Amino acid sequence: MIALYLFIALCCSALAFGVKQRWASVLAVLAFLSTQLGLNYYAWEHLNQNDSIYFSFDALGFIFTSVLSIISLPVFYNSYRMLEHQTGEWPDKRKASLYTAALIVLVAVLTSVYFADNYGILWVLIEVSTIALAALIYFYRTKLALEATWKYIFLSSIGISLVLISLLFLNVAMHRDSGASLHISAVLQNAKNLDPLWLKVAFALMVTGLSTKMGVFPFHTVGIDATMVAPHPVNVLMSTALKNAGFVAVFRLYQAVMQTSIADWASHVLLLVGLISIALAATQTQRTQNLNRMLGYSGLEHVGLALVALSLGPIGFYAAVFHLVLHSFAKAGLFLQMGQVNQIYDHHFPEKNAAYFHSNPIGSLVVLLGYIGIMALPPSGLFSTELMIFSQLAAQKQWWVLVLVLFLMTIVLLTLGRQVMNMLYGIKAQIKTDVAVVKVDALEIIAQVTILGLMIYIGFNPPIFLVDLLNQACVR
């Protein structure tokens, strides 16, 4: 089924890229979104079943695919609006068609990453996502976009090479030389027989290599630089679905590692990476004035926290996965709103965007709600997952980690809060009154509020089926 899904996605992408007309792009997107939702339904109907030898519809994949499917709807709609706004009457057909084609490919490969049951295939798909993203980051064709694209491709290629080396070592750890040993389920089944030394090296390289995708230390800068220049719908995917894809790949190996003698060592690695990431987020948000970068650092903080949760063992898995689901909704709502900020001010510097309440009152409320969301302040759904993580840290008596994380997260909260308040109620309000009150697209606002509302609702009142899925995802 996923092979068919990828084929249809490729056809849609080719249609958008080949015909270079607005109708073709719209048709391609509609066809692709129908397929995306269709695959989501099919996966639900065939949960815990294999799909060919390379894919499997498991709970973890289903959860993140559902998040991506939900987010994809406003992402494609916002992209359409952005292309119209950016190119007027859709005159730059080449640019618009390349963007649409690359966006379809990106969503398709990320979906496939979630369901991949083979490390080799997973590696291939992550590689393709880099190429699609490079085309999207370079959308504005500016000097900064060029710089960000260079850095993204180069560092991602290095990261992907490290992941490839980790797969070679994983092969050695399996004591087998056949390509079949790269199956994720086979690694899980044979976890107890894995050679600890080679597994250690493979795990360390996997975490390092995929840090370009997860957006955590050590390769976190590549994504943050890209966030500064990429179109806002692309930022939505980079800060949510892409991070989730990197997380899924690491989590699947970590589940196998947890059954071996190096479980404690691996937990410490994740704890260290998580803590450094949160610390970097806390220090770097102080230095930047660019709101997109700040949101990028906020992503660094949240994925870092998810890794800290993973380090707590199976009990933290639930909190980590749930945290990333809710973070995806919160961050998607905010980044989508950044599109309107960009439309009004043409830049992302909070001080210069002062008096946003004057220009876009409803959009300002979305920013406020989004800020409350990503900062995990009640009623944010992230409040409940952070509470789970903190209580687990306390239960395991990891007091110094708890205090450090709380301290660093408070710094991020205050710094980001100051900048957001500057933007909404800034002291330059009088100067900025020349900015006209704009009429914003109602559908865009509805989508943003719905996504943020979903984050609040499922955070505090998770449906039973979601709880079941989360539990299944954690005990594979």
Q: Are 408 and 278 in contact (CB under 8 A)?
A: yes
Nearest to 105 by CA among 77, 127, 74: 127
Of 31 and 146, nearer to another protein (C-beta) is 146
In angstroms, give the least distance from the CB of 181 to another protein: 9
Residue of 26, 31, 46, 195 interacting with another protein (CB under 8 A): 195
Binding-site string for another protein from residue 116 to residue 135, where x marks contact by CB under 8 A and - marks none: ----xx-xx--xx--x--x-
In angstroms, give the least distance from the CB of 288 to another protein: 4
Under rule CB under 8 A, residue 187 binds another protein: no
In angstroms, give the least distance from the CB of 148 to another protein: 6
CA gyration radius for the chain? Answer: 21
Under rule CB under 8 A, residue 293 binds another protein: yes
Q: Are 29 and 106 in contact (CB under 8 A)?
A: no
φ, ψ of residue 457 in degrees (nearest 5): -65, -55
Under rule CB under 8 A, residue 379 binds another protein: no
- Helix (H) or strand (E) holding 57, with range, is strand 55-57
Give the binding range for another protein (CB under 8 A) out of 25-33, 174-182, 245-253, 381-389: 174-182
Q: Are 171 and 194 in contact (CB under 8 A)?
A: no
Distances (CA, A) of 380 to 20, 114, 327, 387, 465: 42, 26, 10, 11, 21
In angstroms, give the least distance from the CB of 208 to another protein: 12
- Residue 214 token pair: 């997860």
Of 147 and 441, nearer to another protein (C-beta) is 147
Under rule CB under 8 A, residue 171 binds another protein: yes
Instruction: Kindly report each contact of residues 176-184 with a partner whose C-beta sits within 8 Å and lies 24 or more positions away, as own/partner.
Output: 179/120, 182/118, 182/119, 182/120, 183/53, 183/117, 183/118, 183/119, 184/56, 184/116, 184/117, 184/118, 184/119, 184/122, 184/252
The rounded distance, in Å, linking the Cα atoms of 389 and 322 is: 11
Of 46 and 151, nearer to another protein (C-beta) is 151
Of 70 and 121, nearer to another protein (C-beta) is 121
Under rule CB under 8 A, residue 160 binds another protein: yes
Of 229 and 423, nearer to another protein (C-beta) is 229
Residue of 27, 31, 153, 411 interacting with another protein (CB under 8 A): 153
Under rule CB under 8 A, residue 4 binds another protein: no
Side-chain half-sphere CA neighbours of 317 within 13 A: 20
Of 270 and 280, nearer to another protein (C-beta) is 280
Under rule CB under 8 A, residue 439 binds another protein: no
Q: Are 10 and 105 in contact (CB under 8 A)?
A: yes
Binding-site string for another protein from residue 241 to residue 280, where x marks contact by CB under 8 A and - marks none: ----------------------------------------
Q: Are 192 and 163 in contact (CB under 8 A)?
A: no
Under rule CB under 8 A, residue 352 binds another protein: no
Under rule CB under 8 A, residue 108 binds another protein: no
**Contacts (CB under 8 A) with another protein, residues 196-225:** 197-198, 225
Under rule CB under 8 A, residue 414 binds another protein: no
Chain centroid to CA 208: how far?
17
- Residue 140 burial (C-beta neighbours within 10 Å; 0-12, 13-18, 19+): middle
Give the binding range for another protein (CB under 8 A) out of 8-16, 154-162, 368-376, 429-437: 154-162
Under rule CB under 8 A, residue 441 binds another protein: no
